[in-house]
Amino acid sequence: MEDAAVQPSLVIVYFGGNDSTEPHPSGLGPHVPLPEYVENMKKIAMHLKGLSENTHVMFLSTPPMNEGQTGESFGKCARTNEGCRIYSEACLKLCQEVDIKCIDLWTAIQQRDDWKTVCFTDGIHLSSEGSKLVGEEILKALAEEPSLCWRSLPTEFDEDSVFDPVDEEGKNINISNL
C-alpha cells in the first residue's frame, strides 16, 4: 500500500475483541497481552498515518459482550465484558495519544437499554441491529470530517445511480419517500 499511486482516503481499524480473551493454559488461542495489543495497535496507527496526509485513520474500540448469552451459546467463555472494557479503554487512550479518531463501541453499544438482547447473535458477534449501530457511529464520525463525505471523494466511474437519485435541478431525492 505504501507504494500505491493512490492512497486510501479512509482506513478503519477494528481489533480487540478476540485479543481481550483470557489466556488459554496451553498458550494457544487468540489472547494478546494488553501491552502487546497496545504496541501492535500503535504500529498499525503510525504506519497508516504515514501513508499520506490525505489518508484518514479511524479505530473502533473493543465492543462489549453479553456474558449471559455467550454462556448459552458457548458454555464457559474465556472473554468477559470487563476484559473488553480494559482493551477498549487502552485503544481509546492510544488513539488520543497518537491523534487518531476512535469510536468507543464499548460505551456506544451499551447506551441502548436493550443492548444485551438485540445487539448480538450469540453474545459476541454483532446482530444486524448491532452492526447497524456500529454503522451509525461510523457515519457520525465521518460527518465530523467534511473531506470524508462520500460526495467529496473522487469517483472512478461517473454514473447516474438509482441509489443517489436527483431531480431536474440536481437536488437529491429522498428515496425513503419513494
What CATH number is given to the structural domain containing 54? 3.40.50.1110
Domain with 73 in it: 10-177
DSSP symbol at 79? -
Q: What is the mean pLDDT of the chain?
A: 83
Reported as a single tens digit per residue, the pLDDT across 72-93 is 666 576 788 999 999 999 999 9
Residue 1 pLDDT exceeds 80:
no
Task: Report the alpha-carbon angle 93-141-159, nearest 5.
Answer: 140
Residue 162 pLDDT exceeds 80:
no
Of the CA atoms within 13 Å of residue 172, those in its CB half-sphere come to 7
Per the domain annotation, does 1 fall within a domain? Answer: no
What is the spatial distance between Cα 143 and Cα 58, in angstroms, rounded to a whole number? 13
Can you give the pLDDT at residue 174?
57
User: 3-state DSSP call for residue 8?
Assistant: coil
Residue that has been written with the C-alpha cell 459476541 in this structure: 124
Per the domain annotation, does 122 fall within a domain? Answer: yes
Per the domain annotation, does 55 fall within a domain? Answer: yes
Can you give the pLDDT at residue 178?
46
Distance of CA 81 to the CA centre of its chain: 17
Task: Report the alpha-carbon angle 127-80-130, nearest 5.
Answer: 15
Reported as a single tens digit per residue, the pLDDT across 12-50 is 999 988 888 887 767 667 888 999 999 999 999 999 999
Residue that has been written with the C-alpha cell 444486524 in this structure: 128
User: 3-state DSSP call for residue 145?
Assistant: coil
Per the domain annotation, does 3 fall within a domain? Answer: no
Query: Please, which pLDDT band fits residue 94 given cuts at 50, 70 and 90?
Result: very high
Can you give the pLDDT at residue 128?
95
What residues contact residue 33 under an 8 Å CB cut-off, 6+ apart?
23
Per the domain annotation, does 5 fall within a domain? Answer: no
Per the domain annotation, does 118 fall within a domain? Answer: yes
> Among the ranges 4-13, 108-117, 166-175, which has the highest mean pLDDT value?
108-117
The arithmetic mean of pLDDT across residues 139-166, rounded, is 69
Count of domains for the chain: 1
Can you give the pLDDT at residue 53?
86
What residues contact residue 94 under an 8 Å CB cut-off, 6+ apart?
38, 41, 42, 45, 59
Please state at what angle helix 81-98 crosses helix 34-49, rounded to 10 degrees: 40
Q: Which of 66, 84, 63 is nearest to 121 (CA)?
A: 66
Per the domain annotation, does 82 fall within a domain? Answer: yes
Q: What are phi and psi of 131, to 5 degrees?
A: -65, -40
Per the domain annotation, does 76 fall within a domain? Answer: yes
